[in-house]
Amino acid sequence: MSNMIKQENSLLKEFTKGIIKENPSLIILLGLCPTLAVTTSIANGIGMGIAASAVLICSNIMISLLKNYIPEQVRIPAYIVVIASFVTIVEMLMKAYVPLLAKTLGIFVPLIVVNCIILGRAEAFANKKNVLESIMDALGMGLGFTLSLLLISMIREIFGYCWIDFRNYGVKEVLTLPVITKDSELIIELFGKKIEFYKGIFVLAMAPGAFFVIGLILAVINYFKSKFEDKEIL
Amino acid sequence: MNNKESLTPLIISLRLTIICFIAVSLLISVNALTIGKIQENSKTEEDRANKFLFANAVSFSEKQIFSSLNEKDKKIIYYFKAFDAGKNTLGYVVYSQGSGFGGAMKVGFSVDTDMKIIKIKLMDNSETPGYGKKYEMEENVKFFYGSNTKEKPLPNNLVSLSPEDKDTVTSATISFKGIAGALEKGVNLLKNEIK
Using the Cβ of A78 and the Cβ atoms of chain B, whether some distance falls under 8 Å is answered with yes
Look at residues B50, B185, B59 and name the one whose alpha carbon lies nearest to residue B118: B50
- pLDDT tens string, chain A, 234 residues long: the values are 567 777 777 888 889 888 988 999 999 999 898 888 889 889 889 989 999 999 999 999 999 999 988 988 889 999 999 999 999 999 999 999 988 888 778 778 888 998 889 999 999 999 998 999 999 999 999 999 999 999 999 999 888 877 788 776 777 777 776 655 445 455 666 677 766 655 667 788 888 899 999 999 999 999 988 888 877 666
Residue B14 half-sphere exposure, CB side, CA atoms within 13 Å? Answer: 6
Give dist(CA A51, CA A106) in Å, integer: 12
| Average pLDDT score over residue span B34-41 | 93
CB-based contact A73:B10 (threshold 8 Å): no
Decide: helix, strand or coil at residue A163: strand
Output Rg (C-alpha) for chain A, integer angstroms. Answer: 20
Question: Which has more confidence, A51 or B195?
Answer: A51
Residues in Cβ contact with A155 at an 8 Å cutoff, skipping those fewer than 6 apart: A204, A213
Q: What are phi and psi of B110, to 5 degrees?
A: -115, 145
In sequence order, what are the residues at sequence separation of 6 or more whose Cβ sits closer than 8 angstroms to the Cβ of residue B188? none
Which amino acid is it at A223?
Answer: Y
Q: Following CA atoms B20, B25, B30, B31 in sequence, which dihedral angle do they give, to the nearest 10 degrees? A: 90
B152 vs chain A: nearest CA distance in angstroms?
A: 32
Chain B partners within 8 Å of A75 (Cβ): none
Identify the residue among A70, A90, A103, A156 best suited for mutation to test binding to B, counting B beta carbons within 10 A and taking the highest.
A103
Looking at residue B2, its pLDDT comes to 46
Bridge partner residues of B106 (DSSP) = B97
Contact (CB<8Å) B130/A37: yes
> By percentage, how much of chain B surpasses pLDDT 90?
63
* Residue B3 to residues A100, B6, B16, Cα–Cα distance (Å): 56, 5, 20
By Cβ distance, the residue of B19, B34, B125 closest to A78 is: B19
* pLDDT tens, position by position, B138-148: 889 999 999 99
d(CA A18, CA A144) in angstroms, rounded, equals: 5
Cross-chain CB nearest to B102 (options A88, A106, A206) = A106
pLDDT at residue B27 in the model: 96
Type and span of the H or E element at B91: strand B89-100
Whether pLDDT at B3 is above 50: no
Tell how strand A175-176 and strand A163-164 pair up.
antiparallel
Contacts of A68 (CB under 8 A, 6+ apart): none
**Interface contact flag, A44 B34, Cβ < 8 Å:** no
- Residue B79 near residue B61 (C-beta atoms within 8 A): no
Distance from CA of B50 to the nearest CA of A (A): 17
- How far does the CA of residue A30 sit from the closest CA of chain B (Å)? 20
**Has the ipTM of the complex gone over 0.90?**
no
Specify the pLDDT at position B4: 45
* Contact of B117 with B158, CB cutoff 8 Å: no
pLDDT for A33: 87
Which amino acid, B4?
A: K
Smallest CA–CA distance, residue A82 to chain B, in Å, is: 7
- Closest residue on chain A to B26 (Cα): A85
- pLDDT score of A1: 59
A206 in contact with chain B, both atoms CB, cutoff 8 A: yes
Using the 8-state DSSP alphabet, how is residue A180 labeled? Answer: B
CB of A208 less than 8 A from some CB of B: no
Residues of B in contact with A82 (CB under 8 A): 19, 23
Taking an 8 Å cut-off on Cβ atoms, the answer to whether A96 and B127 are in contact is: no
* A56: nearest Cα among A111, A135, A128: A135
A157-212 pLDDT, tens digit each: 888 877 788 776 777 777 776 655 445 455 666 677 766 655 667 788 888 899 99
CB-based contact A73 B12, cutoff 8 Å: yes
Query: Scanning every residue of chain B, which has its alpha carbon at the shortest distance from the alpha carbon of A104?
Result: B129
Pairing between β-strand B103-112 and β-strand B89-100 as defined by DSSP bridges? antiparallel
Indicate if the pLDDT at residue B134 is higher than 90.
no
Residue B132's pLDDT is 86
In which element (H, E) is residue A32 found? helix A32-37
Interface test with B, best of A33, A90, A92, A127 (most B CBs within 10 A): A92
Q: According to the model, what pLDDT value does residue A215 have?
A: 94
Q: Which helix (H) or strand (E) holds B169?
A: helix B163-169
Cα–Cα distance measured from residue B94 to residue A67, given in angstroms and rounded to the nearest whole number:
51
| pLDDT category of residue B108 using cuts at 50, 70 and 90 | very high
